[in-house]
Amino acid sequence: MTTLQDSTPTPRGAALVDSFGRVHTDLRISLTDRCSLRCTYCMPEQGNTWLTRSSLMTPDEIERVAAVAAGLGVTSIRLTGGEPLLRRDLVDVVQRLSALRSGGQPLEVTLTTNGIGLPARLDELWAAGLSRVNISIDTLRRERFLELTKRDRLADVLEGIHAAAASGRPLKLNAVAMRCVNDDEIVDLVELATSVGAQMRFIEQMPLDAGHVWDRDSMLTREEILEALSRRWDLTPVPGRGAEPAERWWLDGGPHAVGVIASVSAPFCGSCNRLRMTADGQLRSCLFATEELDLMPALRADGPAPSEASGDLAIEAVLRAAVRGKKAGHAIDSPTFLQPIRGMNAIGG
Ligand code: SAM
Ligand code: SF4
């Protein structure tokens, strides 16, 4: 168990480096556990117990944690969920975070969304300082979309994609690749992406479904995704992956590329630079962490309000403790692997 005390002193302002030397520069902030869809691999259709409104971090609290993190070397923030577009104060959050600086540079603020309702908010989001958007789409077939997400909203997702593409900013599309679900649409999805100037990325399905029915033997692997792609295109690796989760390949030599995020069959934990904060202020050092550290006591102290400086020190202590407790890898293949209690919608992807 990680505690706030089991530390050797760290110089103030030093970077967030874990015990394996990984430097943490990327903070994923989940804004809500609610969603306009019910993707089967992410959350159940019914019976969800939602976070209460009062337990959600406010824009002030999110900004405060982000400001402390930026002072410790975090340079990019991805807003996610659940569906972040369901937060009415999303533009306010983006504006506050984009105004923060890390090492003299503005923080990069990006959004992962299902795209539903995006067209109406896009201009405001860009004006607020949003840098980039990733949109998730697993199928181009209406019936299949309904089956997979339990909502008949494919047209809304496609509208979101077209609006984002039309704004001329870099756009990535994400699909969870699944056997006997959408493995016959790998090429079609890439063609949609290239037709709107976006980059397609396929994600291996991870054991983060609320139903706990994920099965290692039946998941579609990186190798199978690449095989499907190489039947249509000549693939050449794009060098310079860095800490990116996606490995990329040029399609027929470029200019379009495709990415594969093989978290299960080819984990990239060794270069992980990410920390996660849930919508109710719990810090997680990994998607698969079974332990969370609570930021709320540092943000909502009982009794007389602490000074800003001591409050920030308390936030820093939680950030450092989370990084210190980070494990070498997710160990999905270990016989002792335990799926986190929260589903992906409540962790933030
Ligand atoms: N609602 C937004 C969306 O769908 O993009 C943001 C949140 S969603 C949890 C973020 C990403 O996680 C999506 O690309 C989604 O496909 C992915 N995801 C959710 N559950 C997953 C799972 N079990 N395995 C792999 N990826 C998953
Ligand atoms: Fe909602 Fe995204 Fe989860 Fe689908 S993957 S249910 S869109 S949070």
Q: For the chain, what is the domain count?
A: 1
* Short-list 79, 333, 51, CA closest to 207: 333
**Between 315 and 242, where is the model more confident?**
315
Quick check: 348 and 30 in contact, CB under 8 A?
yes
Question: What's the pLDDT score for residue 328?
Answer: 85
- Nearest residue (by CA) to ligand 1, atom 11, is 349
The per-residue pLDDT of the chain, averaged, comes to 92
| Cα(301) to centroid(ligand 1), Å | 33
Q: Which residues, at least 6 apart from 66, have a Cβ–Cβ distance to it below 8 Å? A: 27, 29, 74, 77, 96, 97, 100, 107
Report which ligand 1 atom has the smallest distance to the Cα of 175.
16
User: What gap in Å lies between CA 80 and CA 345, rounded to an integer?
Assistant: 9
Ligand 1 close to Cβ of residue 278 (< 6 A): no
Instruction: For a ligand 2 pocket test, name from 136, 173, 203, 287 the mutation site with the most ligand atoms within 8 angstroms of its C-beta.
Output: 136
User: What gap in Å lies between CA 33 and CA 35, rounded to an integer?
Assistant: 7
Q: Is 245 left (phi over 0), alpha (psi -120 to 50) or beta?
A: alpha
Instruction: For a ligand 2 pocket test, name from 32, 42, 148 the mutation site with the most ligand atoms within 8 angstroms of its C-beta.
Output: 42
Ligand 1 close to Cβ of residue 174 (< 6 A): yes
User: What gap in Å lies between CA 149 and CA 143, rounded to an integer?
Assistant: 10
Question: What's the pLDDT score for residue 213?
Answer: 82
| Cα(287) to centroid(ligand 2), Å | 15
Instruction: Tell me, rounded to whole angstroms, the distance of Cα 121 from its chain centroid.
Output: 20
Q: Is 133 left (phi over 0), alpha (psi -120 to 50) or beta?
A: beta
Report which ligand 2 atom has the smallest distance to the Cα of 36.
1
Quick check: 259 and 175 in contact, CB under 8 A?
no
CB atoms within 10 A of CB 138: 27
The pLDDT tens digits for 71-99 are 999 999 999 999 999 999 999 999 999 99
The pLDDT tens digits for 187-232 are 999 999 999 999 999 999 998 886 788 888 878 999 999 999 999 9
Asked whether the CA dihedral 256, 262, 263, 269 is positive or negative, the reply is negative
Residue 147 counted as domain residue = yes
Report which ligand 1 atom has the smallest distance to the Cα of 207.
23
The ligand whose atoms approach the alpha carbon of 145 most closely is 2
User: What gap in Å lies between CA 295 and CA 4, rounded to an integer?
Assistant: 11
Residue 122 in tokens:
């896009």
Ligand 2 close to Cβ of residue 177 (< 6 A): no
User: What gap in Å lies between CA 307 and CA 317, rounded to an integer?
Assistant: 15
Residue 222 counted as domain residue = yes
User: What gap in Å lies between CA 223 and CA 215, rounded to an integer?
Assistant: 17
| Cα(120) to centroid(ligand 2), Å | 20
| Cα(183) to centroid(ligand 2), Å | 19
Ligand 2 close to Cβ of residue 348 (< 6 A): no
Domain of 324: which CATH number?
A: 3.20.20.70
Residue 7 counted as domain residue = no
Q: 349 pLDDT band (50/70/90 cuts)?
A: confident
User: What gap in Å lies between CA 20 and CA 305, rounded to an integer?
Assistant: 36
Residue labelled with tokens 């109406």: 120
Residue 305 in tokens:
């309000």
Mean pLDDT of 255-271: 93
Residue 11 counted as domain residue = no
Report which ligand 1 atom has the smallest distance to the Cα of 208.
23
Residue 8 counted as domain residue = no
Q: Is 326 left (phi over 0), alpha (psi -120 to 50) or beta?
A: beta
- Can you list the alpha helix ranges (DSSP code H) found in the chain? 59-71, 90-98, 118-128, 142-149, 154-166, 186-195, 222-230, 296-299, 308-324, 344-347
Question: What's the pLDDT score for residue 279?
Answer: 98
Ligand 2 close to Cβ of residue 43 (< 6 A): yes
Residue 17: phi and psi, rounded to 5, are -110, 130
Of the ranges 176-185, 227-236, 293-302, which one carries the lowest mean pLDDT score?
A: 293-302
- DSSP-based three-state secondary structure for 24: coil
| Cα(37) to centroid(ligand 1), Å | 11
pTM of the model: 0.95
What domain range includes position 76? 26-347
Quick check: 169 and 134 in contact, CB under 8 A?
no
